[in-house]
Amino acid sequence: MNQKPIIVIGAGMCGVSTAIWLQRFGHRVILIDKGQPGLGASFGNAGLLAQWAVDPVTSPKLWWKVPKYLAQQNSPFFMKWGYLPSMLPWLVKYMSHANDNATRRIVQDLIPIVSDAVEQHKSLVRSTTLEKWIVDSKFSFVYPSEAAFKQDAYSWKMKSIAGLIPKVILGAAVQEEEPILGPAMGCLAILEGQGHVTNPGQYIAELVAYFVSEGGQFIQANVFDIQKRNGVVSHIDTDLGRFDCRKAVITAGIWSKDLMKMIDLNVPMEAERGYHVIFENPSELPRNPMLMTEGKFGVNPMEMGLRCAGTVELGDHRSGPSVDPIEYIRKQSQRAFPNLQYSGTQEWMGSRPSTPDSLPLIGELGQSGIFTGFGHQHVGLTAGPKTGRLIAQLINNNSPNIDMSPYAPGRYAVGTSKPGS
């Protein structure tokens, strides 16, 4: 193979999936990351293969939820106020999608990239030792009461568009289904046929090792420039030197914004920072993963303990973690699991890469040979393998069997076909 390679920048869930699919299609691929693989947002997420996450955060209800959360002492929404002026243009665009029409359109556009996630992950790892990381399960939405479930009717109406109809159980049946839950929780909405990952960081590290064992090259280097010749990508500059390429793929999560600036494009994308607390050596575990709907965090029985991961903090992805969201997750976990004993905890913060319309940018930037695969907000673990497969199909000139126009990078990247919206 004497052809120049394809370079994939960023070895998170989206990047490693892209690298593997390109390799399977017969391409020579170099995967570059500034750190060890899988240490970005893909490391510490809730590990949920969220096939049900078809309704965006920007539901029409967000208009009254945000002021309510800000007024509340104890809420799952946090704000780094000093960063507000910098993120205001993004926030205005983001909130412009918080209406019924936009929500229905986003639901239709999220369905193709999330709804077959368990199968997509299984295809990525089929016949390898990595199959062990993908676990089939049920998934429960946990509410304090039936009334709280009913207040969530809009979200369930949106999910029903994807055929997601839960089985609802109340009262003592809740603790029979999930003995870890205390009496503060009185209603479960359960979906069958879901899945989860039991150690996302290790899963990605092993995916990269698999890619290398199949002939791929992983290079740990910081990309600081992407160069074009006659409008087409020619090479990537890194702190380890220059790498020639015939195509490049930007899959660097929240940092993709900085990489886009290297090719003079501005993308409206901001960090929805989120946190996890791992309860080590827990005295009990849930039977299946769950979402604490009030606390806005996922609960996943993982290899290293019980991981509770979520909350949203709007702020700069470059600034360090805050204390309050961690404390919030701890308190809410105590309320939900009053009998839980554990030997210690681990904490983490990561940045969800979020676009104003909650849809990723997947496609080619004009005819530059530069492709994008970022902006997956709350569902990047879920949708990474599908994203990688779609990018590999586009590079191979195999038309994907879904309409790619909703994800076109040109809708946001200044300087390409469509103006930003």
Phi-psi region of 374 (alpha: psi -120 to 50; beta: other; left: phi over 0): beta
| Helices and strands in the chain: count of H runs, count of E runs | 13, 19
Contact between 265 and ligand FAD per CB under 6 A? no
- Of the candidate spans 76-84, 85-93, 172-180, 374-382, the one that interacts with ligand FAD by CB under 6 A turns out to be 374-382
Q: According to CB under 6 A, which one of 195, 253, 369, 406 is a site residue for ligand FAD?
A: 253
| Binding to ligand FAD in span 296-315, by CB under 6 A | 298, 309-310
For the bound state, the minimum distance from the C-beta of residue 101 to ligand FAD, rounded and expressed in Å, comes to 25
Contact between 31 and ligand FAD per CB under 6 A? no
Cβ neighbours for 151, distance < 8 A, ≥ 6 positions apart: none
Q: According to CB under 6 A, which one of 34, 121, 247, 257 is a site residue for ligand FAD?
A: 34
Helix (H, G, I), strand (E, B) or coil at 401: coil
Scanning the structure block, which residue is given the tokens 């290293």?
304
Determine contact, residues 186/146, Cβ cutoff 8 Å. yes
Cβ neighbours for 132, distance < 8 A, ≥ 6 positions apart: none
The contact pattern for ligand FAD, residues 327-366, with x = CB under 6 A and - = no contact, is -----------------------x-xx-------------
Q: What span, in angstroms and rounded, lies between the C-alpha atoms of 141 and 187?
A: 8
Scanning the structure block, which residue is given the tokens 């998170």?
12
Contact between 388 and ligand FAD per CB under 6 A? no
CA torsion angle 323 327 328 334 (round to 10)? 170
Q: Where are the beta strands (DSSP E) in 22-72?
A: 29-33, 48-49
Q: Which C-beta is closer to ligand FAD: that of 282 or that of 289?
A: 289
Q: Which C-beta is closer to ligand FAD: that of 153 or that of 323?
A: 323
Determine contact, residues 412/420, Cβ cutoff 8 Å. yes
Contact between 168 and ligand FAD per CB under 6 A? no
Q: Which C-beta is closer to ligand FAD: that of 122 or that of 175?
A: 122
Helix (H, G, I), strand (E, B) or coil at 139: strand
For the bound state, the minimum distance from the C-beta of residue 173 to ligand FAD, rounded and expressed in Å, comes to 26
Provide the residue count of the chain: 421
Q: What span, in angstroms and rounded, lies between the C-alpha atoms of 381 and 121?
A: 9
| Binding to ligand FAD in span 4-23, by CB under 6 A | 9-15
Q: According to CB under 6 A, which one of 265, 267, 379, 392 is a site residue for ligand FAD?
A: 379
Q: Which C-beta is closer to ligand FAD: that of 188 or that of 309?
A: 309
Backbone angles phi, psi at 100, to 5 degrees: -60, -45
Contact between 162 and ligand FAD per CB under 6 A? no
Angle at alpha carbon of residue 271, lines to 195 and 139, rounded to 5°: 15
- Of the candidate spans 157-165, 225-233, 378-386, 408-416, the one that interacts with ligand FAD by CB under 6 A turns out to be 378-386
- Of the candidate spans 32-40, 76-84, 100-108, 137-145, the one that interacts with ligand FAD by CB under 6 A turns out to be 32-40
For the bound state, the minimum distance from the C-beta of residue 134 to ligand FAD, rounded and expressed in Å, comes to 13
For the bound state, the minimum distance from the C-beta of residue 339 to ligand FAD, rounded and expressed in Å, comes to 25
User: Which DSSP string do the residues of 296-321 spell out, in sequence order?
Assistant: TEEEEEETTEEEEEEEEEEE-TTSPP
Q: Pick the closest to residue 402 from 383, 380, 418, 415 (CA basis).
A: 383
For the bound state, the minimum distance from the C-beta of residue 178 to ligand FAD, rounded and expressed in Å, comes to 18
- Of the candidate spans 27-35, 319-327, 328-336, 400-408, the one that interacts with ligand FAD by CB under 6 A turns out to be 27-35
Q: Pick the closest to residue 130 from 211, 194, 192 (CA basis).
A: 211
Number of shown-chain residues binding ligand FAD (CB under 6 A): 43
Contact between 55 and ligand FAD per CB under 6 A? no
- Of the candidate spans 91-99, 209-217, 247-255, 396-404, the one that interacts with ligand FAD by CB under 6 A turns out to be 247-255
Contact between 134 and ligand FAD per CB under 6 A? no
Q: Which C-beta is closer to ligand FAD: that of 172 or that of 240?
A: 240
Q: According to CB under 6 A, which one of 50, 106, 188, 208 is a site residue for ligand FAD?
A: 50
Q: According to CB under 6 A, which one of 222, 281, 398, 405 is a site residue for ligand FAD?
A: 222
Cα separations in angstroms, 156 against 27, 166, 180, 269, 282: 42, 9, 25, 27, 32
Cβ neighbours for 358, distance < 8 A, ≥ 6 positions apart: 56, 57, 58, 97, 106, 110, 377
> Which chain residues interact with ligand FAD by CB under 6 A?
9-15, 32-35, 39-42, 45-48, 50, 222-223, 251-253, 255, 274-276, 298, 309-310, 350, 352-353, 374, 376, 378-382, 384
